[in-house]
Structure 1
Amino acid sequence: MLLHRGYTFRLKNNLAHGRKQWYCSSRLTSRCLADVNTEGPEGYERIVRSRFAHNHAPPNVRRFADGRYVVRTPH
């Protein structure tokens, strides 16, 4: 999972030259077309391209002191 500007993304593809393409986690449920490309070693990727056109509010994400994240879904 990738968290960027309050939105979550899931890995879609490993691209050439160590880049990765990430789709919005709500792509299927909300038909959201936002995506991000990253490059760099795992855990230290940097964003090299972002098409930021979400059609929904960001999910409710909570970060714990130990670094874990939990995405809360509405009841």
Structure 2
Amino acid sequence: MTFTVEIKVMPHKELLDPQGKAVIGGLHSLGLNGIEDVRIGKSITLQVNAATADQARELAEEASKKLLSNPVMEYFEIHVN
């Protein structure tokens, strides 16, 4: 069975996000002052062939730990559809 797995990778909340800081500076320079914070991450979609949703999640978690995220600087969330 094929599952669609969505992985959201974001920087740890306690770390600075230089890309987010640059974007918020740009937004403020455009007069969009109501925006207080910006965090930039990445969204990854996988098509996973597995027998069950749990197996698809396990494969996605392994891929996230080994390649798709940097555990020192980022965390990830997995949603299986």
The TM-score, its normalising length taken from structure 1, stands at: 0.25
- Higher normalized strand content (fraction of residues): 1
Which of these two proteins has the greater Rg computed from alpha carbons?
A: 2
The TM-score, its normalising length taken from structure 2, stands at: 0.24
- Higher normalized helix content (fraction of residues): 2
Task: Between the two structures, name the one with larger relative contact order (CA 8 Å, sep ≥ 6).
Answer: 2
